[in-house]
Amino acid sequence: MLQQNVKRLDTAYKNFFEGRGFPKFKNRSNFTSFTYQMGVKVQGSKIYLPKLGWMRFHNSRVIPEGFTIKAATIRKRQNGWDVSIRIEDKSIPDYISKPLNEINSLLGCDLGITKLVHLSDSYQIENPRFSTNKKAKRTLKIRQRRVSKKVKGSNNRKKSAKRLGRLHKKIADKRSAYQWETANKIVSRKVDAIAVENLNVSGMLRRCKVKIDEKTGRFLKNGQSRKKGLNRSISDAGWSDLILKIEYLAVKQGKIVIKVNPKNSSQECRNCGHIDKSNRDGEKFICTHCGYHEHADIGAAKTIRDRAFEIVRGDSTKLAV
The values of phi and psi at residue 44, to 5°, are: 65, -120
Strands in 33-36's sheet, in edge-to-edge order, are 33-36, 68-77, 80-88
Burial class (CB in 10 A: 0-12, 13-18, 19+), 36: buried
DSSP summary character for residue 102 = G
Q: Tally Cβ neighbours within 10 Å of residue 175.
A: 19
Between CA 44 and CA 79, with CA 176 as vertex, the angle to 5 degrees is 55
Closest to 236 (Cα-Cα) out of 166, 300, 179: 179
Q: Catalytic pick from 236, 247, 268, 297?
A: 297
Q: Catalytic pick from 110, 236, 247, 268?
A: 110
Question: How far, rounded to the nearest angstrom, does the alpha carbon of residue 59 sit from its chain's CA centroid?
Answer: 26
Give one DSSP letter per residue of 223-283, joined into a string.
SHHHHHHHHHHHHHHTHHHHHHHHHHHHHHTT-EEEEE--TTTTTB-TTT--B-GGGEETT
> In sequence order, which ranges of the chain are alpha helices (DSSP H)?
2-17, 134-149, 155-187, 201-204, 224-237, 239-252, 296-313
Provide the angle, in degrees to the nearest 10, between the axes of the packed helices 239-252 and 155-187: 50
Per-residue CA distances from 203 to 40, 207, 234 (Å): 41, 9, 12
Query: Active-site residue 110, yes or no?
Result: yes
Total residues found in the chain within this entry: 321
Closest to 56 (Cα-Cα) out of 44, 68, 64: 44
Query: Active-site residue 241, yes or no?
Result: no
Q: Which residue type occupies 101?
A: N
Query: Active-site residue 173, yes or no?
Result: no
Q: Catalytic pick from 192, 197, 236, 268?
A: 197
Return the active site residues.
110, 197, 297
